[in-house]
Structures are given as C-alpha cells and as structure tokens.
Structure 1
Amino acid sequence: MKWAIPQLSKYRQNGMPIDEIVQLDGLMRRNTDIRRITPVHVKGFCTFGAGQMNCHFQLTGTLTLPCSRTWEDVEFPFDIESDEVFSWSDEVNADEYDNVHPVEGEVIDVDPVLEELILLEIPLQVFKEGAENPAPKNKSNWSYLTEDEFLSQKEKDAQKTDPRLAALAKYFDQTDE
C-alpha cells in the first residue's frame, strides 16, 4: 500500500478508513522459514495532522511455517493490532519512538511496516499437532536416535578399541617380569 501525501489531504477532516487485501510476498525474502503467506487483510483507520499520519492497523492472515520437529508445513494464523505513526515533518525525532516511521519524499509506503509487524509475531518454534516424533529416518539426509539407541551405541563405541592404539593396550596388559 502506497499513498501520496498530497492526495491524503482530502481525508484531513474525517480520517481515512482502511479495508484492503495486501499480498506481502517480500516476507519470504526477509525470513526464509516462511514457506507461504496468504493475502493479508488490513483493516484500520488513519487520521492526519500537519506533518504526520496516525494509523491503527489490524492485520489478519496465515503463514505457513516448518514444524520444528518434522519440517512439515504448519499453518500459523495471525491477528495483529498496532498503532503506527508516519511522519514527514522535521520536528519529530523518529529515533525516540518505536512506532514512528519517517517518510522521505511524497509517498508513504506502508508495506515494509506491515511486514515488520508480521515478522515480529513469528514464534521461534512451531509444532505440528500430533508431531511427537521427528521425521522418519533417512529422510533428507538426516536421522535421529532415541535415548535408548544413543546409550546402546555409546556403549558399543566405548568397547571398541582403536586399531592404532591396540599395541599400546597390550603394553599395559603385560606384567612386570
């Protein structure tokens, strides 16, 4: 969504309602864990001052993310509400506030702000329902061991003697004569 500042002057009195569907495919370039994103429904309302625009956004949509255990697709719905300020005035210091976005030029580009809001909502781990065990063995060149398998393998490895050290082991077995 992009708006030219001069065209927004017609909304100064009553504000501007927002109800749009936006495709934010740039999210998949910014976070490679995102496999798909549905079109995002953006609802909200914007009011205008002399040098800034205050917006209340509500974003709803669904991300497809990999399950942390199985790498299968997991649908992650989101519903985000946020208040953002877009300022084209030199008087406001955008570094002091998190939700103030400086506008350069005559066009307000809202898409990067919407993408940032969604990126902040992505959890560190997502688990598919019923994903108790990892993916099947020998899939995608990786495998897993249960704790019992790991312990038995560890015992077998401990019993094996490195052939390069076999002569050294015999040296310690000899008794002093």
Structure 2
Amino acid sequence: MLNWAIAELMKYKETPLHFTETVDVKADLIKRDPEIMDVSPINVDGYISFDKGDYLVSVTLAGSITVPSTRSLKPVELPMNFTFSEIYLSDPDHADQYEDGELLIELTGDRLDLVSAVEDHLLLNIPMQVLTPEEAADDEMPSGTDWEVMTESDYQATQEEQAEQPNAAFAKLKDLFNDDDAPEDDK
C-alpha cells in the first residue's frame, strides 16, 4: 500500500511508475486531528520518476473529509481533490540542484512510503474556516449577550467610528479652558 522498495523503483529509470490505489486513512487522520469526524476512502493516483538519482513523485488525491463548522460545529463534508508533488532525495547533497519552493524530503531507509505524505497533504488542505452551505450563504454572524462575532472590515469600521467620536469623560474638560481666558502673550 503506497510503499515501494528503492531497489524495485530503480527499474523505472526510463518510464515512470504509475500507481492507482484506494487507501483508508480514517483512523490515522482522526488520531492526528481529533476534530475530524469522518474520512471517505481516498483515491490515490500518481507517478514516481527516477531523475538525477532522486525520486520525483506527483500524486492526485480524491475523496472527502468531514469536519465541524468553525461557526456552529455542525458537520461539513469537504471534497478533497488536489495534486501534490514531492522530491525524495537519495543524497542530501542533491538539494542544491532544485529550485527554492520545491518540497524536498531526504530518503531514509530502503523504502519509499507515501502513506504519511498522503495524510500530511490531506490535513494541510483542510481550510482554517469551514462553514456549512447555509452559513456561507448567510452574512449573519453569531452573537449573544454582550458579545458578537464580526468580520474584520466591520471591526475596522467600528474602530474608526469610535475614534471620531469624542470621549464623553474628556468632553466636560473642554469647557474649562476658554480661548478668551488665555494670557495676552499667548494670543
């Protein structure tokens, strides 16, 4: 299951190894992130190429993950359909031959195991804000007694309004000093 011996991958110097598998990573993902409520079987389709002594991996994942809404905690099913690429280095000195921003991973041992990479990328693709379709369509934010959730733009507008309004405690002090009472040399 998404695990190959390096010696086996050496056979694919000329043509990439194509693989298609369905994996069940539900238990592992829930263990890593207890907020996850459910994970469908994940379809994994990818290629492993041997290039310059390293292994280039390109994988497309398809499935779904159910997590709670960040607003109401109601279950939300998130479709997962994306591709990721990684480069597994057989020698750490090879890192300088790749561009910045490419995901480089040093191979340890005599096997290439992609299960943890699949799990990592699924977790990384869960958005920070998850809303039910109704919550996404509705602009109304939750509120309660003496509290409310507001958008960043609403907060900025409120801050600007408050900055423009004079402070009531200091407004009384304003009348203590009239310009007519100023000494002659200040005028």
| Superposed pair shares fold, TM > 0.5 | yes
Correspondence for 2:11: 10
In the alignment, which residue of structure 1 is the partner of 2:74? 72
1:68 positional shift: 2.0
| Structure 2 residue matching 1:126: 3-state secondary structure | coil
Which amino acid is the alignment partner of residue 68 of structure 1?
A: T
* 1:130 equivalent among 129, 134, 144: 134
C-alpha offsets along residues 91-111 of structure 1, whole Å, 9 cap, x if unaligned? Answer: 2249x6551111111011111
Q: What amino acid does structure 1 have at the position aligned with 2:12?
A: Y
Q: TM-score, normalised by structure 1?
A: 0.69
Q: Give yes or no for contact 2:87–2:102 (8 Å, CA) kept in 1.
A: no
2:31 equivalent to 1:29: yes
Which of structure 1's runs of 4+ aligned residues deviate more than 4 A? 131-134
| Residues in 1 aligned to 2:6 and 2:143: alpha-carbon distance in whole angstroms | 60
SS at match of 1:130: helix
Q: Deviation per CA, 1:95-138, whole angstroms, max 9, x where unpaired?
A: x655111111101111111112111111112111224689xxxx
For 1:9, what is the secondary structure of its paired residue?
Answer: helix
Residue aligning to 2:167: none
Pick the aligned partner of 1:104 from 105, 108, 111.
108
Give 3-state SS (helix, strand or coil) of 1:91's partner: helix
Distance in 1 (CA, whole Å) between partners of 2:118 and 2:80 is 12
Q: Choose 57-66 or 46-55, whichever is displaced more.
A: 46-55
2:80 paired with 1:83: no
Select the structure that is richer in helix.
2
Task: Give 1:5's aligned amino acid.
Answer: I
Which of 53, 58, 61 pairs up with 1:59?
A: 61
- Match for 1:113 among 90, 113, 117? 117
The percent identity for this pair of structures is 25
Q: Residue 86 of structure 1: CA displacement?
A: 1.1
Unaligned runs of 5+ in 1: 135-143, 152-177
Q: Distance in 2 between matches of 1:8 and 1:145?
A: 57
Inter-CA distance 4–97: structure 2 relative to 1 (3 Å threshold) = farther
Secondary structure of 2:72 counterpart: coil
CA contact (8 A) 2:54 2:90 kept: yes
Change (3 A) 1:145 1:97: closer
Q: How many residues align?
A: 138
Provide the aligned C-alpha RMSD in A: 2.3
TM-score normalised by structure 2 residue count? 0.65
Q: Distance in 2 between matches of 1:3 and 1:97?
A: 26
| Structure 2: runs of 5 or more not aligned | 147-187
CA-CA distance at 1:53 after TM superposition: 0.7
The answer for the alignment partner of 1:48 in structure 2 is 50
